[in-house]
Structure 1
Amino acid sequence: MQDRPAPARHADMTDPALSADPWLRDLSPELVAHLQAMSLRRRLRDGERLYARGDAAEGLYGVVRGRIRLSVPTPNGREVLFVLFEPGSWFGEVSMFDGEPRPQDAHAIGDSEILLLPRLRFLALLDQHPELYRGFTRLLCRKLRTVLDYVEDALTLPLAARLGKRLLQLAQVYGVDEADGRLIDLALPQDDLASMLGATRQSVSKELKAWEQQGWISLRYRHVVLRDEAALTRMVARASGLPEP
């Protein structure tokens, strides 16, 4: 089994990438100081594993730099992308609270730096300061709402609408304006896009090529450029039964 990355120095809880989340931003200076005292940073190389499916929960993680990819293995040895976490994202709270093993694998995308709040010490702090639970309730509700949106899309929308919606969402987070459109500045193999949507690579490729011919997007190696976001937005709205913008 791959060795876990070694803990590094104490983290700075005031790092802008971390403190922007409401659960941390709204804490008193006293609580931030407690978190500062217990926190650890870890540095990961590109592709390095943070934890494996079935591992015991170490605690709560925050992404300081880089990206963390959560995925699940399939019986045929492939990997299904579950979610990507950007700087400022917090994750791992479910296993931290319920004590169950990690349900996914977590790997770094690019050289990354994460913060760890050790589970037992953090739970003890929660017992001493129950006001912390309010922020975590908001965090969990926000994630649950996202999951429910994905489930609704999977049950009600055709693949084209789900793919268009996901590309528009990715462009909001990773979009970089260029002369010919808005580049999704994220290495995004079509296999990953397909696994995000529960679709086959072939069906996703067919939709992307059709949109490229229509001038809505252009395809580069492992990247997508949105050339006509308005057309994609109208298509998604029609499929969702919403008024077209």
Structure 2
Amino acid sequence: MTRDYTESEGSCAWMHVLTEHERERVRGSLHRQNVDAGAMVCHRGDEARYWVGVLDGLVKISSVSVSGKSLTYTGVAPGGWFGEGTLLKGEHWRYDVIALRNSHIGLLPAECFFWLLDRSLEFNRVIVNQLNERLGQFIGQLQIDRLSGADERVARTVAAMFHPILYPGVDRWLRISQEELGYLCGLSRQRVNKALSHLCSLGLLQLRYGGIEVPDLNALRAYESDGAEGEASVLRGLG
């Protein structure tokens, strides 16, 4: 684990609301860790001692049920920070965080995190806004898991990764593979490929080498399938 004092604007956008004295405190406290693809960033049950950010790369937040079924809650794209709720409640991690590719992770110690909360009104606003946006994201994810067909699931998952508040490091282009997207959606790579092709045919996104570009984020968020596939999924679940 190393310290790094050259954080980019995209990976630590929240630093711009701080005073110079506060930024210096963060620079002196922030650690940077390189995590290989497939390795753990956070282990479920471990003590939460850091506010965690994805400086570069991609991670997924997930857990494994008693029956052994893996459930992915969300992905975290570059610029995204998470774990503030766990720190505020003084809890241990309730989920695993796994790197989907080689990633650079930022670790802000809890001591510095709470120091900022105690002295910076602007930082408090950042955290409250993030908690609110994260809640909306999880409510939307619950709806997708219960009602959406595969095409809509892929569309909403991609749109979620372009969230300007939660993932300020992502602009109009997201570096992600179909396999990584499949891990986040809970779908096979082949099914993701089919859904992406359909969404491309509608002009909702464009596939670039190594990633996805979204010309109109609002249109992608508003996409709904014809209902046949989603209804079939529900009926299979009832059968």
Give your verdict on TM over 0.5.
yes
Residues 24-173 of structure 1 correspond to what in structure 2 (within 5 A)? 24-154=15-145, 157-160=147-150, 162-166=152-156, 169=159
Q: In 1, Cα distance between the equivalents of 2:198 and 2:116? A: 56
Q: 2:2 aligns with which of 1, 8, 17?
A: 8
Deviations 1:167-217 (A, max 9, x none): 6527866987xxxxxx9732426863553xxxx86xx94x97599699949
Residues 173-188 of structure 1 correspond to what in structure 2 (within 5 A)? 185-188=176-179
Q: In 2, Cα distance between the equivalents of 1:59 and 1:96? A: 8
Aligned residues of 1:161 and 1:235 also touching (Cα < 8 A): no
**By how many angstroms is 1:70 displaced?**
1.3
Aligned residues of 1:13 and 1:19 also touching (Cα < 8 A): no
Matched, 1:19 2:12: yes
Aligned residues of 2:18 and 2:120 also touching (Cα < 8 A): no
Gaps of 5+ in 1: 1-6, 177-182, 218-222, 241-245
Aligned residues of 2:57 and 2:78 also touching (Cα < 8 A): yes
Aligned residue type for 1:159: G
Identity %: 23
- TM-score when scaled to structure 2? 0.68
**By how many angstroms is 1:76 displaced?**
2.9
**Bigger CA radius of gyration:** 1
How many residues align? The count is: 209
Gaps of 5+ in 2: 163-169, 203-209, 228-239
Aligned residues of 2:151 and 2:196 also touching (Cα < 8 A): no
Q: In 1, Cα distance between the equivalents of 2:157 and 2:9? A: 27
Secondary structure in 1 aligned to 2:63? strand
**By how many angstroms is 1:124 displaced?**
3.1
Q: In 2, Cα distance between the equivalents of 1:91 and 1:234? A: 23
Aligned residues of 2:49 and 2:87 also touching (Cα < 8 A): yes
Q: In 1, Cα distance between the equivalents of 2:154 and 2:37? A: 29
Secondary structure in 2 aligned to 1:17? coil
Secondary structure in 1 aligned to 2:57? strand
Q: In 1, Cα distance between the equivalents of 2:200 and 2:9? A: 38
Question: Which residue matches 2:223?
Answer: 236
Q: Which has the higher contact order (CA 8 A, sep 6+)?
A: 2
Residues 182-201 of structure 1 correspond to what in structure 2 (within 5 A)? 185-188=176-179, 192=183, 194-195=185-186
Aligned residues of 1:174 and 1:184 also touching (Cα < 8 A): no
Deviations 1:25-73 (A, max 9, x none): 2222221111111111111122221221111101101111212221111
**By how many angstroms is 1:88 displaced?**
0.9
**By how many angstroms is 1:119 displaced?**
0.8
